[in-house]
Copies of this chain bind each other. A is one copy, B any other.
Amino acid sequence: MREFIEITKALSDSNRVRLLCALRNGELCVCQLIELLGLAPSTVSKHLTILKHARLIECRKEGRWVFYRIDEIASPDAKKALDLVFGCVSDSDEILRDDRKMVEILKIGREELCRKTELKE
């Protein structure tokens, strides 16, 4: 039960659901997820920690970058929960909009993307 509640709590915020959906097509760097959500880096990092703690995602370090992806060896409950998420919201307006935005984000290189974040305003 405790594990299940941890999973549902993780899923009970739309920004976290957006993060999971963004990762459903493969791993992404934190800076790309920050750009997608348009939130402060610290906020995005916190959301990622919550998803990771619920064992829905895992991460990998490569130099200065950290890549997150859907947890390949997620628990049975986590796997079922991920299926639910993707089954319910994959074709929602919000997620389709995110998908389109991510295409644009991927066109920019990671290096340029991070520099761009600094230039904002």
Contacts and interface: CB of A to CB of B under 8 A. Distances in A.
A75 to B, nearest CB: 10
Assign chain A's interface to a size class: 20 to 34
Contacts of A8: 8, 11-12, 17
SS of A interface (majority) = helix
Contact of A95 (B1, B2, B93): B1
Interface string A77-88: 100110011011
Interface in A1-34: 1-2, 4-5, 8-9, 11-14, 17
A104 B3 CA distance: 28
B5 A12 contact: yes
Interface string A92-105: 11110000000000
Copy number of this protein in the oligomer?
Answer: 2
Contacts of A92: 1, 4
Given A84-B80, A84-B81, A94 B1 contact: yes
A89 interface: yes
Nearest to A78: B88
A7 to B, nearest CB: 8
27 contacts: A1-B14, A1-B17, A1-B89, A1-B92, A1-B93, A1-B94, A1-B95, A2-B14, A4-B17, A4-B85, A4-B88, A4-B89, A4-B92, A5-B14, A5-B17, A8-B8, A8-B11, A8-B12, A8-B17, A9-B12, A11-B12, A80-B84, A80-B87, A80-B88, A81-B84, A81-B88, A84-B84
